[in-house]
């Protein structure tokens, strides 16, 4: 594991001052004790997708998201920090997740809103571990996990992977005597076997299918998110870009044949951001090797920008 703290931010520059603000001339390298703001932490990992027999390349996802964020214009003052990347060494995913959790816990304790940049969806167990560390090891808090994803990622497998994250979290929460509160939104019946649906039911997972997530159903979807957020102390939002249609997000390991529209995913992201409960978010599965003209990276970057600017 390596913590690469310095990352480059460059982009179109139209001049000085807040009227020309973009991400690249606003974001600063994070230093300990900085005034609270939104802090990015990358997780450069291919190992979860490799173990899950997917097409690898997500390791470079965090940097591709930064490139896509760079020239996005900022219309209001915002404190943005980049805490760099935790780089997984070879097959040692577990040390990387541990290191990510450590740095994330420090950022959370310093009062930042934190944003994890994957990497495959194995980032979710690292995010959870960091949140658990920052919230404390007792059982006095409840954490709601809102996953926008075509997949449950509730696999039982000999090794942790990008497909096992929420099963790992369920076990860790049970071991700590805390409830497992998991809402999965955008789930595809075609992309999850009956075994996975049965496991989700056993674990009390709250589910919205991809076919239910459309703008005609906006009120019900908003209520689903609001009810879920109301029922927990803290919210963690995780966005797997493969929830989006393959035309919008081709640069992922497992592109969706149907998918949830970008408008709808943005509504879900905004509902989570405005809940007043959101502590941490991450975005996963961007694989630049399969992206077309930065389509997936730009979509992910826009969602992150809107999430960060709409926190309530
Ligand atoms: N991160 C999760 N990935 C999916 C991959 C499915 C596929 O390869 O089709 C899963 O394990 O279910
Ligand atoms: Mn996933
Ligand atoms: Mn997925």
b (16+ CB within 10 A) / e for 189-203: eebbeeebbebbeeb
CA angle 189, 129, 48 (to 5 degrees): 50
The stretch 205-224 carries a mean pLDDT of 98
**CA-proximal residue: ligand 1, atom 7 (nearest):** 254
Whole-prediction pTM value?
0.98
**Predicted local confidence at residue 7, as pLDDT:** 82
**CA-proximal residue: ligand 1, atom 9 (nearest):** 254
**Predicted local confidence at residue 74, as pLDDT:** 98
The stretch 69-88 carries a mean pLDDT of 98
User: What would the pLDDT profile of 111-143 be if each residue is shown by its tens digit?
Assistant: 999 999 999 999 999 999 999 999 997 888 999
- Between strands 28-29 and 80-87, the pairing is parallel
Whole-number percent of the chain with pLDDT over 70: 100
What's the mean per-residue pLDDT of the chain? 97
3-state secondary structure of 225: helix
Output the six-digit token pair for 229: 């957020």
Pocket flag, ligand 1, residue 151 (CB < 6 Å): yes
Pocket flag, ligand 1, residue 54 (CB < 6 Å): yes
**Predicted local confidence at residue 67, as pLDDT:** 98
Pocket flag, ligand 1, residue 178 (CB < 6 Å): no
Pocket flag, ligand 1, residue 52 (CB < 6 Å): yes
User: What would the pLDDT profile of 171-191 be if each residue is shown by its tens digit?
Assistant: 999 999 999 999 999 999 999
CB count, 10 Å around CB of 245? Answer: 18
- Binding positions for Mn(2+) are 121, 149, 151, 153, 240, 242
**Predicted local confidence at residue 312, as pLDDT:** 87
Asked if residues 253 and 301 have their Cβ atoms less than 8 Å apart, the reply is no
User: What would the pLDDT profile of 257-296 be if each residue is shown by its tens digit?
Assistant: 999 999 999 999 999 999 999 999 999 999 999 999 999 9
User: What would the pLDDT profile of 194-205 be if each residue is shown by its tens digit?
Assistant: 999 999 999 999
User: What would the pLDDT profile of 248-263 be if each residue is shown by its tens digit?
Assistant: 999 999 999 999 999 9
Please choose, from the candidates 43, 48, 47, the residue with its C-alpha nearest in 3D space to the C-alpha of residue 60.
Answer: 43
Using the structure block, give the residue that is written with the tokens 């959101």. 278
Q: Which residue segments constitute the domains of the chain, with CATH numbers given?
A: 2-309 (3.40.800.10)
Residues with beta carbon < 5 A to ion ligand 2? 121, 149, 151, 153, 240
Output the six-digit token pair for 122: 């194995």
Question: Which ligand is closest to the CA of 253, given by its number?
Answer: 1
Q: Which of 25-34, 136-145, 168-177 has the lowest mean pLDDT?
A: 136-145
Q: Which of 6-10, 23-27, 74-78 has the lowest mean pLDDT?
A: 6-10
Question: Given its phi and psi angles, is residue 177 left (phi above 0), alpha (psi -120 to 50 degrees) or beta?
Answer: left
**Rounded distance from Cα 121 to ligand 1 centre (Å):** 10
The stretch 71-92 carries a mean pLDDT of 97
**Predicted local confidence at residue 139, as pLDDT:** 80
The stretch 163-167 carries a mean pLDDT of 98
**Predicted local confidence at residue 304, as pLDDT:** 98
């Amino acid at each position: 594991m390596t913590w690469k703290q310095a990352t480059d931010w460059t982009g179109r520059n139209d001049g000085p001052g807040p009227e020309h603000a973009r991400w690249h001339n606003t974001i600063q390298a994070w230093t300990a004790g900085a005034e609270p703001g939104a802090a990015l932490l990358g997780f450069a990992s291919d190992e979860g997708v490799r173990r899950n027999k997917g097409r690898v390349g997500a390791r470079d996802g965090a940097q591709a998201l930064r490139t896509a964020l760079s020239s996005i214009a900022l219309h209001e003052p915002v404190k943005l920090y980049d805490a760099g990347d935790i780089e997984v060494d070879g097959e040692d995913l577990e040390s990387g997740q541990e290191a990510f959790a450590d740095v994330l816990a420090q950022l959370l304790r310093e009062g930042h809103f934190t944003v994890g940049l994957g990497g495959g969806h194995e980032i979710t167990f690292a995010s959870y571990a960091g949140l658990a560390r920052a919230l404390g090891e007792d059982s006095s808090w409840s954490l709601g996990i809102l996953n926008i994803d075509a997949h449950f990622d509730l696999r039982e497998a000999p090794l942790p992977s990008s497909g096992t994250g929420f099963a790992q979290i369920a076990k860790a929460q049970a071991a700590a005597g805390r409830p497992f509160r998991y809402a999965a939104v955008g789930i595809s019946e075609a992309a999850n076997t009956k075994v996975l649906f049965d496991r989700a039911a056993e674990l009390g997972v709250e589910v919205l299918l991809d076919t239910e997530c459309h703008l005609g159903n906006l009120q019900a979807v908003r209520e689903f998110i609001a009810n879920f957020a109301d029922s927990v102390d803290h919210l963690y939002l995780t966005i797997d870009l493969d929830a989006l249609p393959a035309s919008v997000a081709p640069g992922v390991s497992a592109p969706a044949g149907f998918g949830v529209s970008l408008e709808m995913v943005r509504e879900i992201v905004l509902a989570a951001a405005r809940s007043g409960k959101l502590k941490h978010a991450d975005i996963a599965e961007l694989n630049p090797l399969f992206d077309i003209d930065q389509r997936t990276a730009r979509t992910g970057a826009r969602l992150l920008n809107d999430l960060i600017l709409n926190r309530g």
